[in-house]
Amino acid sequence: MPKNKVSSQEKPVLFINQVKSDWQTKQQSYIIKKANVQQSLSEPSVDVKVPVVESREVPIPEEVVKQQPKKNRITAMSIEEKINYLVSVPNNIPKILCEFTTSEESYKGIVVSFEDGVIGLRTTSRSDIVKVPIQHLKSVNVLGF
Q: What is the pLDDT of residues 109-142, one digit of tens each?
A: 888 888 888 888 888 887 788 898 888 888 888 8
At 56 the pLDDT is 72
Which of 143, 106, 112, 104 has its CA nearest to residue 125?
Answer: 106
Ramachandran bin of 144, using left for φ above 0, alpha for ψ from -120 to 50, beta for the remaining angles = left
* CATH (residue range 72-145): 2.30.30.520
Rounded distance between C-alpha atoms, residue 20 and residue 10, angstroms: 21
At 23 the pLDDT is 67
Residues of the chain whose pLDDT is less than 70?
A: 1-16, 18-30, 36-48, 50-53, 55, 69-70, 145
At 39 the pLDDT is 56
E strands present in the chain: 97-102, 106-115, 118-123, 129-133, 137-144
Q: Residue type at 87?
A: V
